Structure 1
């Protein structure tokens, strides 16, 4: 290592120690940070709990200008910004739930270049008041970070179409900046199979990105799938499980708001202190439940997929999927919240018996989801034929989704984040309608569960020995 590299490494480690209290980086944090500091486009796939946030927060402190962090959920942004402010780092978040005076204050900080990190959703990034300020020539932007980048793939052409326009952001921003300005793009996620990786790179228009991929295998995490025969039996299995693990921290994932509330009510009646967490709660209610869980006042939470992203609780001993998730990537995200401290933990998934005769809920849920997607595609196809061949992105959500689907099929290009050109309007039959088959294959797989996950996410399983799932032990 030459002298300049040694000095740079010492500065990184000194900053890590001073701000976060760690003496050493985990592998490959330091390499990722160096990639971002050298202004390279980067794609990072690291398991949940692998320390992704530090990889873009630390470079933000060491570079002049602002780092934009595009994040999918308000709760996730609130948690990260609170942690940064507790460490006296100038960070802020913008979202639709802010009071007018709060929003105005943050926009002023942005204009005065008083922020190191600004967290915002894709929709907020592309809102007129924010975009106008970001395009001011004096506002220096060093990086655009896409946190939880799998959301681009899962949601980009369904109910969050703004994700599909993110690739046009960098070229548009650079047009307003002084000549020679560079803006690096980095995408972070815990779950991206080879197809998802290609989609992320194409949509974001990453330029010769450096790619970091970490194996999702966790030797301390035991995977188990258990068949239940009736709705009552499903609840009884949960009760039996948590009775055997008194005072341990855990999470119970359900699919809907109604499920979270009804299961919470039933467990309260059994004498357990718990709470329902879903997107319908106010920010104050969400924050209250998170704090009670983090502090141990509530041992476990009944939650939808809205809970967990970015919440760091090392001692979660178990995760139950009361209902199986619809996507394998969701499953890996959610089980990854158990055992971050490296101690033995378990991920249990409850599934209906295959015929669904006595408990048809799982089958009905998947059929409903598929039917909703199909209906959305048909609606988008009809709308696409009526939209002008070129123009400004309409304000209504249905039209925006139609444009996102056309872009997903390679039939549309963005001139900038707000204007498009359609080359062809006939939408192909959506391949996504079959994507639930992957989770079904996993749940019904007779071989090693960890081997299945490794293979699904593009990792070599040849020399792999498990011993940490219900098929191998």
Structure 2
């Protein structure tokens, strides 16, 4: 048995490496730098922990959060590994005692925050002791292109000169191509092995629905999940506390988590979540990094996340055991406006602000995707995929219409202008608005100029978002936000494939009202009842292992909620109810309607 397999078996208890792990271990053991981009739950930590123990000597692990370091050190100690962390939560005496053990050669793996590592005093001390390996966890934090750039990580680019010849391993779960290039340049001076695993987490069902009443939608989603662990993400501290209180009032075991709570309260919430089943954490983004609880069955976004990068990381906390899990988001126009304000408040005018707006554009495109949602998500990370069969768009397809002609106008406009301009410029050309830039470049003389003047700006903006969400167009987030044609877009231009779009995602001109489901636009359809009917349909679909629309499509449920049938004869007259479905499902849905009506009339 090789030394790496001996460590894997004897220390960690695994007979084999997971896919991708062994190649990274081999690179580090051979003294080569490596950047590994692997999905959450793929076992990134093991890729540097195994070579650390095989090589011997001292390994330094850079990690951004104290809680994350403490959890990893605790796990390693339970496995019999001499691991420690020096951090701000320990007393000076405790840190000094640990340092003495490090200096005496008694510690194999030492976890440090970047700001503690990158001081002249610490670097000099480690140079005297000698370091065998350096690992940088959450490596995307070093990249100015990333959605989670942390200034304290920036100093890590000095590691390669401070410790020449010492291999550096960098790991992260989320890094698009521009972020990967930036990490390799900063950490490794452009020289490193690159391992990018697939980003897909096929066991996670992806769903996005228009936001109407967040609390009611959350309750409808949770119906039938009395003992499941999950995370509800909210935009503000206040919202996280309100949602936790609301769920507690409705019989769920829910706790809030945000940066405004005391360290003791946060620790208490995290420990409860990690140790017990059936706990729901209602949190801001302060919660999650390093959370490795295998049986998280759902992540519910009550508000729009900051970007697709953040969304991918956050939903990745679900289903790490490989069993079915759900990522459910409610999405409204107000969320987009609030996110835009946050970006403008947090970043001064310039490249950083512009990039964050483009990241938000990509997220909105995902929410409005007319085709498989997983294809849209993976396309953002540069990965192609077939329709997944495990997202809301695949399971319960929405009404779409042929948009091939309009799509080709957009594609031709992008092509004729060099595939380097953003959506605003392309729409200006299509509707015939000769802005000064278009005139200076002669774009007002192109054959596509005013080719779309028969439709409003809002229509063309939505079509572009849906083309991005469908993988026909690509937004260059790291560049100047230019829109380019993806291979799928070239297939559309050449007539090999078609494009269908969702008219329900086209916002009214002026954008003053949010995206609404057809039922919400009808005052005769009680939304609370419709939510209950959908929840019952979901239960039945799960029991019979079929997609929800096989039980009844939304149109039938809307008909139920509008007409309030009381008898089987009434039920038989609903849209989409045949003899077999009348026999199988009438009683259970009539009971939901009866209970709702009794509550309303009481």
Measured against the shorter chain, the TM-score band is: 0.7 to 0.9
**In the alignment, which residue of structure 1 is the partner of 2:58?**
66
Name which one, 1 or 2, has greater alpha-carbon Rg.
Answer: 2
| Residues 314-348 of structure 1: CA deviation (Å, up to 9, x unaligned) | 22211111112111111111111111222211100
CA contact (8 A) 1:33 1:55 kept: yes
**In the alignment, which residue of structure 1 is the partner of 2:82?**
90
Q: Structure 1 length as normaliser, TM-score?
A: 0.78
| Residues 74-102 of structure 1: CA deviation (Å, up to 9, x unaligned) | 22111111111111211111222221112
**In the alignment, which residue of structure 2 is the partner of 1:13?**
5
Q: CA deviation at 1:296?
A: 1.9
Q: Secondary structure at the match of 1:317?
A: strand
Matches within 5 A, 1:156-195: 160-174=150-164, 182-195=165-178
Q: CA deviation at 1:276?
A: 1.1
Q: CA deviation at 1:206?
A: 4.6
Q: Secondary structure at the match of 2:132?
A: strand
**In the alignment, which residue of structure 2 is the partner of 1:99?**
91
Q: CA deviation at 1:56?
A: 0.7
Q: CA deviation at 1:268?
A: 2.1
By relative contact order (CA 8 Å, sep 6+), the higher-ranking structure is: 1
Go from structure 1 to structure 2 and tell me whether the alpha carbon gap of 1:114 and 1:343 turns closer, same or farther (over 3 Å shift).
same
Q: CA deviation at 1:282?
A: 4.4
CA contact (8 A) 1:122 1:162 kept: yes
Paired residue for 1:205, among 182, 188, 195?
188
Paired residue for 1:435, among 322, 339, 359?
359
- Quick check: which one's strand share is greater? 1
| Residues 253-303 of structure 1: CA deviation (Å, up to 9, x unaligned) | 123323222221222222322111223444443333222212225521112
Q: CA deviation at 1:447?
A: 1.6
**In the alignment, which residue of structure 2 is the partner of 1:122?**
114
Range that drifts further, 289-298 or 37-46: 289-298
1:196 is the counterpart of 2:179 = yes
Distance 1:466 1:433 in 2: 28
Go from structure 1 to structure 2 and tell me whether the alpha carbon gap of 1:430 and 1:223 turns closer, same or farther (over 3 Å shift).
closer
Go from structure 1 to structure 2 and tell me whether the alpha carbon gap of 1:132 and 1:278 turns closer, same or farther (over 3 Å shift).
farther
| Residues 2-28 of structure 1: CA deviation (Å, up to 9, x unaligned) | xxxxx53xx222221211111111111
- RMSD of the TM alignment (CA)? 2.3
Distance 1:215 1:348 in 2: 22
- Quick check: which one's helix share is greater? 2
Distance 1:300 1:428 in 2: 34
Distance 1:39 1:268 in 2: 53
Q: CA deviation at 1:48?
A: 0.4
Unaligned runs of 5+ in 1: 1-6, 175-181, 355-359, 379-426
Paired residue for 2:379, among 439, 455, 459?
455
Go from structure 1 to structure 2 and tell me whether the alpha carbon gap of 1:107 and 1:187 turns closer, same or farther (over 3 Å shift).
same
Distance 1:189 1:269 in 2: 38
Q: Structure 2 length as normaliser, TM-score?
A: 0.62
1:365 is the counterpart of 2:348 = no
Paired residues in the alignment total: 395
| Residues 135-157 of structure 1: CA deviation (Å, up to 9, x unaligned) | 3x2x1112221111122236989
Go from structure 1 to structure 2 and tell me whether the alpha carbon gap of 1:443 and 1:430 turns closer, same or farther (over 3 Å shift).
closer
Go from structure 1 to structure 2 and tell me whether the alpha carbon gap of 1:244 and 1:325 turns closer, same or farther (over 3 Å shift).
same
